[in-house]
Chain A
Amino acid sequence: MGGEKIHMDFPVKGGNFSEAGEAASKIKSVLKQIGVQYEIIRRVAIASYEAEMNIVAHAEGGQISVDIAPEEISVTASDKGPGIPDIEQAMIEGFSTASAKIREMGFGAGMGLPNIKRAVDWMNIESTAGESTTLQFKISLKKPVSQ
């Protein structure tokens, strides 16, 4: 495959809901140009969007880094913020620590991490309470995995 690789970084501002979703949108358009299957693009788009929204909704700010190889896309969303004290609990559908203000805006339904988990082939979360969170996920670009 010639070992082609594409790397992209997107800064994400915390609390900035009006610009939220731009990283996910850019990743999506790149995958469309590369000619990745629609079903896979959809999964990457959903997972990236949720990861981006998590930074916007919970953290002061962070970054989304993307590495694309012909076989696989790997995304790292890292932020400085409150961290996730109990990751297992955060993975439960409907569990949310979002403020009332964020819920009023239609976010914070407690579906972010569960939605990411459903969409990706592999994910890992590392977090230090009160400091930072790093979420990583990978999706194979080869063929859709039956869900």
Chain B
Amino acid sequence: MNYFHSVKLIEEECKGCTHCIRTCPTEAIRVRNGKATIINERCIDCGECIRTCPNSAKIAISDAPELSKNFKYNIAIPAPSFAGQFTKKYPLEKVLSGFLHMGFDEVLEVGFGAALMARAITEYLREQGVALPRPVISSACPAVVRLVQVKFPGLVENILPMQSPMEMTAQFVREHAREKLGLKDDEIGVFFISPCPAKVTVVKQPIGFEKSSVSGVIGIKDMVNFIKKNFNSIQGRADLQKATSAGIGWGRRGGEVASVDVPNKMEVDGIHHVSRVLEKIEEGGFKSINFIEAQACTGGCVGGVLQVENPFLSMLKIDLVADEIGDRNDAFFEKAYKEADRKRFFLTEKIEPRSITSLDGDVGAAMRKLKEIEALHAELPGIDCGSCGCPTCRAFAEDVTAGLMMRMDCLFDLRERVRCLAEEIFSLAQKLPHAMKDKDKGVSDETQ
């Protein structure tokens, strides 16, 4: 299958420096012919390489705001973390009005959908109780969901089979536009204002359902720049801020855990920390935990690569905004939750594993390959220098066994061979022909 990816490489900017290959959580990058290349089946669009690249050669593609011209009626749905991007100087209500200034017809924060999901998840976990595989892993971060699919395929059943706040919010505004304004589906454009590339991918290739209600995904940084530049000419409207304080909290680490009302829950952020927790779950750990909020970015969505503000400052800002909102939107939320169709909260398809680890379809053949890999690995220097373009010596051994690399692509191996060759040349050079031998001085090879 051909997977769509929002994380891309600009070849001209890439120096082939190998920084990115080491930080990729799925070992999806190799440096070949002096340039990084991304292995399609392995990439989960987490954006870790974008953060690491010192030459800005990795980028996240998102949709251009102009895409909205294709629709009659456009709705912006900014992520909860969007509220963390502005200092006190830019009050949230006026910031949200910026979307109307830009030409959107309507705006609703995804924090609204997050609160719906928090309540729905709470009810689901309480109803299902011990029937669920423990621990249940949140499905809100698409990079984590894909990490589970490719690297921890046995844990797909632990993923919460429920929709993301983005999808809930998109469905809600779409339905509203259809019913109240009499619009047809293809006349309505719903645009998610996103903190990360993983959301761009999940809209194009949904996991666990067929078609996303989102029409396009615009990076938060594009919107923040526009709003700050045009701030003085934006007409502030007081009725646009609809997310509850709990919903806004989903923009940062701990927000999910704080709003899902079950005992024994935990949060983990940063893709490598998430990997370690998933390892432990595979080994039978965390059985007493009911719910795990797992986020690929440090600090949660505020740490996404399409953000502009420092993630830690953003967390503080989100807390301040949440405090200020207090309970003023609770009535709106309660009404919406009561009217919501419960079926909508759930994914319609099973999340399938997409394992990248198996060496061969046949167990016997896989074992043979594994033995070859182990034998080669034992001969390698084991310092994971990255000079061959593979993230680790182990990955190099796997690539050689798969026929993608040559043994001599290891610099240490090459250097050792050059040394042996040099010694041989040296010893050959000493073997003088008889005509050149000096009998008195006796410096022929036989005498040494």
Contact = CB atoms under 8 A, between A and B. Distances in A.
Interface of A: 1-2, 4-6, 21, 24-25, 28-30, 32-36, 38-39, 41-42, 45-46, 48-50, 68, 70, 115, 141
A2 B411 CA distance: 35
Given A34-B370, A45-B283, A115-B284, A2 B359 contact: no
Contacts of B366: 33-35
Contacts of B153: 38
A38 B357 CA distance: 12
Contacts of A28: 282-283
B357 to A, nearest CB: 4
B363 A1 contact: yes
Interface string B361-375: 111101110110110
B370 to A, nearest CB: 6
Contact of A2 (B353, B364, B374): B364
A32 B283 contact: no
Contact of A141 (B279, B283, B363): B363
A138 B283 CA distance: 17
Nearest to A2: B364
Given A29-B357, A35-B360, A49-B284, 10 more contacts: A2-B368, A6-B370, A30-B370, A35-B359, A35-B361, A38-B353, A41-B282, A42-B282, A45-B282, A49-B283
Nearest to B355: A32
Interface of B: 153-154, 279-280, 282-285, 353, 355, 357-364, 366-368, 370-371, 373-374
A35 B363 contact: yes
A41 B154 CA distance: 8
Given A32-B355, A33-B359, A35-B358, A4 B284 contact: no
Nearest to A115: B284
A38 B154 contact: yes
Q: Which 7 A-B pairs have the closest CB atoms?
A: A38-B154, A35-B358, A46-B284, A4-B367, A32-B357, A49-B283, A1-B364
A54 B373 CA distance: 31
A34 B283 contact: no
A28 B374 CA distance: 15
Nearest to B398: A33
9 contacts: A1-B363, A5-B367, A6-B374, A32-B355, A32-B358, A33-B358, A33-B370, A35-B359, A45-B283
B283 A70 contact: no
A45 to B, nearest CB: 5
B154 A6 contact: no
A36 B363 contact: yes
B361 to A, nearest CB: 7
A42 B279 contact: no
A34 B364 CA distance: 8
B379 to A, nearest CB: 17
A120 B366 CA distance: 23
A42 B371 CA distance: 22
A46 B154 CA distance: 13
B363 A70 contact: yes
B203 to A, nearest CB: 28
Contacts of B355: 32
